[in-house]
């Protein structure tokens, strides 16, 4: 690991997060989806973005697979690599919050420690944890990519829910039982908390 460069100094911007939030007409926040593979994280996350987009909100979805095609393409699925994957995402989320954007993430993020690190990094007031709770057998039936079958045959190592553990959130902000709830119902529940916390209320001085 390279040594930290002590000559790098933080530069305070002339345009602040508060300025950008006023321009956007809403506060920035991280909506962090977690859950087993195929539990509905990406589907609901993108549906939420569409709903927010239709309201004129500035949004961006960080999808787990997409991120691993670029930013984290050098990482595997070992415990260490998973932690680094989430660390990088956390740093990106922090920048997007400063940009005044509603950042939506869809990551298995199976370990409590990694999720808590992101929450501490961005601040608890900026972090809404959404747990997509779904039985593994239901997730397996929904899996169009065939990853569960490959994992059971031993073709995919360290696969969450089969050969690697998933640690359920202890106190998530929202629990979505995606076996029972429709995508629309799930989005409605998230929208409720965004309005309740005044994320979507126009920001005034």
Q: 168 near 131, Cβ under 8 Å?
A: yes
Among 109, 164, 182, 186, the one annotated catalytic: 109
Q: How far apart are CA 77 and CA 164, in angstroms?
A: 10
Structural contact between residues 182 and 176, judged by C-beta atoms closer than 8 angstroms: no
109 assigned to active site: yes
Exposure class string for 119-152: b at 16+ Cβ within 10 A, else e: beebeeebbbbbbbbbebeebbebbeeebbeebe
Closest to 165 in 3D by CA, of 126, 109, 91 = 109
Phi/psi of residue 157, nearest 5 degrees: -90, 155
Asked if residues 78 and 163 have their Cβ atoms less than 8 Å apart, the reply is no
β-pair partners for 128: 31
User: Could you list the active site residues?
Assistant: 109
């Amino acid at each position: 690991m390279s040594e930290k460069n002590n000559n790098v100094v933080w530069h305070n911007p002339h345009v602040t997060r508060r300025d950008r939030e006023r321009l956007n007409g809403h506060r920035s926040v991280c909506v962090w989806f977690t859950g087993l593979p195929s539990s509905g994280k990406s589907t609901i996350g993108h549906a939420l973005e569409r709903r927010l987009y239709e309201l004129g909100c500035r949004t961006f979805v960080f999808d787990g697979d997409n991120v691993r095609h670029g930013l984290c393409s050098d990482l595997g699925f070992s415990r260490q690599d998973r932690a680094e994957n989430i660390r990088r995402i956390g740093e990106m989320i922090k920048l997007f919050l400063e940009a005044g954007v509603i950042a939506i993430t869809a990551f298995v993020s199976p370990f409590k420690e990694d999720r808590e690190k992101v929450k501490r990094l961005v601040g608890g007031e900026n972090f809404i944890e959404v747990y997509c709770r779904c039985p593994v057998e239901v997730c397996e039936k929904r899996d169009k990519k065939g990853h569960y079958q490959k994992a059971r045959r031993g073709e995919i190592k360290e696969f969450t829910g089969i050969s690697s553990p998933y640690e359920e959130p202890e106190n998530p902000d929202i629990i979505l039982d995606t076996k029972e709830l429709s995508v629309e119902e799930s989005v409605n529940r998230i929208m409720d908390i965004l309005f309740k916390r005044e994320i979507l209320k126009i920001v005034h001085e």
